[in-house]
Amino acid sequence: MSESSPLAAAADRLRAAYISGDPIRCGVEHHNFAADVSAYDGPAGVVISHLVASAAILYQLKSPVLERVLGNLARFPLEGEAPPLDDVRLVVEETPGVTFLSLLETLPTRAAGGQSAIGEVWRLAREGRRQAGSPLPPAVSAALANGDRAELLAAIEQLAPDEMEQTMRLLHDEGIVDAQSLANLQALRALGALVQLVAAATLDPDRDRTTLEKALADLEQGGWRLRSAIHRLWEGERDRDALTAELAGHEAALVLRALELVNRSVQ
């Protein structure tokens, strides 16, 4: 590739990624190089090889960028078996400074070796499983598959704080949740103590609810319509659908979390 080639800059970025030693950056730049080759009507085999290299790296690293790469790889027919690792290496290492095979050997072994990783991403791209290979927690993936927004938010609310933040960023970047939903989830985290008190008051009818009633009234003024559902919970209602029928997703998530705590306590 000559220095005047329109792909020279893309090759320089890919080479620089390998010099940096950052495997995520290498995976992303293989993807970017494929996009540039495609934009200049380059050989499909070169595009596919760089996409496969990118996907194999990102798969081993469990990177959220993987889904975008798989989506672009899935645009090609992908007939037959996955390409041999050595064939992919020969194509992508045509760029001086690219040591794809050596990099693969240093990565975590989510799949047992480079060829297995290539086989797995080839399978995922062919099957078009958007959630397969995703770093999303299983309960979150299941809720997305079910199309149940209340279930989704309830699943997210139960995650550890760091995992919750990562999951919400991924969902926001994919356009699955909007900025308001993100704000609502952050509010749910702040309301964790309230959920505990609601559950405790449900289990102990004699417990003083004055402070809770005031908190619910304040929340209702702020747009959280929880009071009616929580009163029904206190009165003995345990049906999920009945409790959340009139609630928005973030409100339902809080009520369902309280219900879960109650159910756990009585088992």
Tell whether the model's pLDDT for residue 214 goes beyond 80: yes
Asked if the model's pLDDT at residue 103 lies above 90, the reply is yes
| Residues in contact with 12: Cβ distance below 8 Å, sequence separation at least 6, in sequence order | none
Q: Are 75 and 147 part of one and the same domain?
A: no
* Sole residue written with tokens 């209340």: 150
**132 in any annotated domain:** no
Contact 135, 170 (CB under 8 A): yes
Task: Kindly state whether residues 88 and 154 are assigned to the same domain.
Answer: no
Whether residue 160 sits in one domain with residue 58: no
Question: Domain end: 127, 152, 174, which one?
Answer: 127
Instruction: Give me the residue label for tokens 């194999």.
Output: 56
Count of structural domains, the chain: 2
Whether residue 3 is contained in a domain is answered as no
Give me the pLDDT at residue 206, please: 87
Which of 127, 155, 189 delimits the end of a domain? 127
User: Which residue, of 127, 152, 180, is where some domain finishes?
Assistant: 127
Q: In whole angstroms, how large is the CA radius of gyration of the chain? A: 25
- pTM of the complete model: 0.49
Q: Are 191 and 216 in contact (CB under 8 A)?
A: no
Q: 144 lies in which domain range?
A: 138-266
Does one domain contain both 55 and 114? yes
Q: Crossing angle of helices 85-92/44-61, nearest 10°?
A: 110
pLDDT, tens digit (0-9, with 9 covering 90-100), for 43-53: 889 999 999 99
Rounded Cα distance between 153 and 143, Å, is 9
Total residue count of the chain as it appears in this document: 267
Same domain? For 173 and 90 the reply is: no
Give the pLDDT confidence of 186-205 residue by residue, as tens digits: 666 667 778 888 989 999 98
Within-domain flag for 133: no
